[in-house]
Structure 1
C-alpha cells in the first residue's frame, strides 16, 4: 500500500452504498443530483490514474478523457444499468472505462469536454500519480486504477478510525497507531524494535503498545468492512476485498 497520510489530510472518500448508486438510474429522483456529485468527485481520481497509465506521456489528453468518460456515463444513460447482481461498482467502472477508451481509440478525434471546462483539480491527481510511480515499475492501467481506489478507501477508513478513537478519548491509541504504521504496511506487526521507542515516548509498557496496535488494527478492519460492503455485489467476499485494499 502506498503511503496514506495519518494527519487526516487528503481527498475525502465518502462511503458509497448501492441504495445511492441505484438512484442514479433515474434523473428525476430527488437524490439524483447529490448522489451524482458524490460519485463523480469520489471516483474521478482512480479513472485519471487508469488513463495516465495507458497514456503516460499525454497529460492533457488524460485530463480530457477523464472528463469525457463521466460525460459519456451521463449521455448514454450507463448509470441506469447499475445492478448489484452484476458485480461490484469498481468492476462496473473499470469495464465501462475500458470500453470507452477503445471507442476513443477508434475515433478520428475525441470530443472535447463540455464548454472546455476543467472539472477536477488535475494538479492534485498528477502529483499523486507521480508520487505513486516513484520507484515503481510500469503499471498496467487496471492496477493503477485499483491502487488509487484502494488508497482512497483506506484513507477514508483511517479518517473514520481517527474520529471514533478521539470521540472515545483514545487519542493515545491513534497517536501510537499513526506513528508506528506511517509509511509501513498496516497489516505488518514485525517491527518489535519500535515498541521500545514508543513505550519510552508515551511512558507505557511495550505490552501496552502491542495491545494498542491490536485494538486499533481490529477497529480499522471493522471500518473497512463497512465501507467495502457498500459497493460490493452479492456473493463477493468482504474479507477478500479488505485484503485487497490493504495489499495495494
Structure 2
C-alpha cells in the first residue's frame, strides 16, 4: 500500500513538473517586462516553480477555484513581492533542486514580443494563449503522425488560420494527390479538429462550471490584438 502511495506521489509530481515546464515562458516574459534582467528572470522563474511544488501552492489551484491562468500570475506576483528578495539572497542552486526548464532560447523569444503599450500582463496573456495553441497544434501533429499522415499535416497546417477564401484548394489537391473536393474536406476536418483540441486545452485550465467559451473568446481576442 505504501509503495502504491509512493508511486502515486511520484506520478503526481512528474505531472506537476510537466505542467510547470509547459507554462514557464509566459511567467518568464512577465518577469522580463517587469524589469528583471535575463538571468534574474530565469532564476526567479526557477525559484518560483521550485517553491510552487515544494510548498504545495498548487493545492490552491483546485478545479473549483478559478482559471489556472489567473492563479499562476497572482501567485507569481505574490512571490515577487514577498519572497523573491529573500530567495535570491541565497546562493543560486544552494541545495535546491531546480526544474529542468529549456531557457536557451528565452531571450530570442522575448525579443520578438510586442513593445509598449503592451504591459507585462498583456505579454503574459499573449504567451499563455500561444502556449495553449501550441499544445493543440502538437497534439494534432501527433494524431496525424500516428495515422501515418505526417506529410499531409505539413502540407495542411499552414492553412489552419487562413481565411477560407484565401486557401488555394486546387494547388493543395495537386500537392496531396487528391481531388479538389477531397482537399476541401481535409482542410475542413483539420481546422475542426484543431478547434476541438484548442478548446480542450483551454478547458483543462478553467474551473469546473466556468465558461470555456468565455475563456476561449478572451484568448482569441488576446491573439487578435495587434
- TM-score, normalised with respect to structure 2: 0.76
Count of aligned residue pairs for this structure pair: 212
CA distance in 2, matches of 1:246, 1:209: 26
Shift of residue 82, structure 1, vs aligned partner: 2.5
CA distance in 2, matches of 1:196, 1:231: 39
Structure 1 segment 24-173 matched on structure 2, within 5 A: 29-55=9-35, 58-74=37-53, 76-103=55-82, 107=85, 110-112=88-90, 113-115=92-94, 119-131=100-112, 133=113, 136-138=114-116, 139-171=118-150, 173=152
| 8 Å contact kept, 1:46–1:148 | yes
| 8 Å contact kept, 1:49–1:144 | yes
The answer for the alignment partner of 1:20 in structure 2 is: none
Deviations along 1:47-106, one digit per CA (max 9) or x if unpaired, are 1111112116x112211211222233245442232321210222110111122222368x
Give the gaps of 5 or more residues in structure 2.
Answer: 1-7
Q: 1:82 to 1:212 in 2, by over 3 A?
A: same
Shift of residue 156, structure 1, vs aligned partner: 2.0
Q: Secondary structure at the match of 2:185?
A: helix
The answer for the alignment partner of 1:21 in structure 2 is: none
Query: Whose RCO is larger (CA < 8 A, sep 6+)?
Result: 1
CA distance in 2, matches of 1:121, 1:165: 26
Give the gaps of 5 or more residues in structure 1.
Answer: 1-27
| 8 Å contact kept, 1:198–1:209 | yes
| 8 Å contact kept, 2:48–2:76 | yes
Deviations along 1:138-189, one digit per CA (max 9) or x if unpaired, are 23222222222222222221122122234345556523322334xxxx2643
The answer for the alignment partner of 2:196 in structure 1 is: 222
The answer to which structure has the higher helix fraction is 2
